[in-house]
Amino acid sequence: MNECKLFSRAVRRTLMSMALVMIAAQMLIVEGEAGTAPAKSGTTVDQGEFGIFQNGRRVATENFTIQQLAESSVTTSELREGAGGPGSKAEQTSELTLAPNGSLSRYEWKQKFPVQNSATIEPKDQFLNMHSVVDGKVNDLPIFLTSNAVILDDYFFSNREILLWRYLATSCKPHAADSGCDLVRARFPAFIPHRHISVEVYVEFKGYDDIPLNGQPQHLRHFLIQVEGQDWHLWLDANHKLLRISVPDANTEILRQ
């Protein structure tokens, strides 16, 4: 049984009422990693670097910061070619802003090299709209998804961490007899900006794995994300931070550095 005893009922009710990134911040507060109310300038919920490897070779680096603000949460990311060391240029950037209820307020992507392209996704009327500038051509694309949809960018893997936080907060089925709960398989509507397509994403908790990372043994929670017939394996640590992603079909691995 994929039994999840991460939350008591009281904590779980609190989590369900918070925005997605605020959920993660509350988890950290409970665990003693943050003890004060968010400052007006924002509280950093997570910050780090993902190394992106294909066929064993490092091809890119994502640097990201996730902040909880008073009335929103903002995830900013930069994608750099190769190891992303000093002097390397940010080829792409993104900024994901969520409302207090976890719905999408705005997603902005920019490519700075080799040509300057951009795309912005925002709610419009009852659905979403993507405004893009590609090779100097302006285009508006209606997206028949609501603001509750998940953004899954092909190039920014911090999006997957936020998806897992949402899954943890919304997919824990409580036990009738005690304070535990089971994480059940869940479906989320999503949009992939670079491919201009809407998809259904399925997330499932697969249990615990003991695997070595960065030279240290780790006891991690294993999750499976399925999208368009492709399996993504993801591992979170005890602090709800994403440490590893494996996409076997694409010979791709993403590791927190």
Q: State the residue for tokens 């995830």.
A: 75
Instruction: State the pLDDT at residue 82.
Output: 82
In degrees and rounded to multiples of 5, residue 176 shows phi and psi of -75, -30
CA torsion, points 63, 161, 31, 185, in degrees to nearest 10? -170
What domains are there in the chain, each with its CATH number? 3-256 (2.40.360)
Handedness of CA 13, 18, 23, 25 (dihedral sign): negative
Handedness of CA 122, 124, 129, 134 (dihedral sign): negative
Quick check: 140 and 129 in contact, CB under 8 A?
A: yes
What is the token pair recorded at 94? 């993104």
Instruction: State the pLDDT at residue 13.
Output: 43
Go through 113-129 and write b for each residue having 16 or more CB atoms within 10 A of its CB, e for each that does not: eeeebebbbebeeeebe
Instruction: State the pLDDT at residue 240.
Output: 93
Of 42-46, 152-156, 159-163, 180-184, the poorest mean pLDDT is in 180-184
Q: Which of 132, 238, 130 is nearest to 191 (CA)?
A: 130
pLDDT at 38 over 50: no
Give the residue, 159 or 35, on which the prediction is more confident: 159
Instruction: State the pLDDT at residue 18.
Output: 38
Beta-sheet pairing, 150-151 with 186-192 = parallel
Give the residue, 216 or 248, on which the prediction is more confident: 248
Return the H-helix or E-strand segment holding 165: helix 158-170
pTM for this entry: 0.83
Q: How far is C-alpha 3 from the chain's CA centre?
A: 23
Instruction: State the pLDDT at residue 7.
Output: 44
Give the residue, 163 or 11, on which the prediction is more confident: 163
Of 35-39, 163-167, 214-218, 224-228, the poorest mean pLDDT is in 35-39
How far is the C-alpha of 248 from the C-alpha of 35, rounded, in Å?
39
**Which three-class secondary structure state does DSSP give residue 139?**
strand
Q: How far is C-alpha 40 from the chain's CA centre?
A: 23
Q: State the residue for tokens 């509350």.
A: 26
pLDDT at 25 over 70: no
Quick check: 95 and 108 in contact, CB under 8 A?
A: yes
Q: pLDDT band at 41, cuts 50/70/90?
A: low
Residue 159's contacts (CB-CB under 8 Å, 6 or more residues apart) are: 75, 96, 150, 151, 152, 153
Q: How does the average pLDDT of the chain come out, rounded?
A: 84
Q: pLDDT band at 26, cuts 50/70/90?
A: very low
Mean pLDDT value of segment 209-227:
92
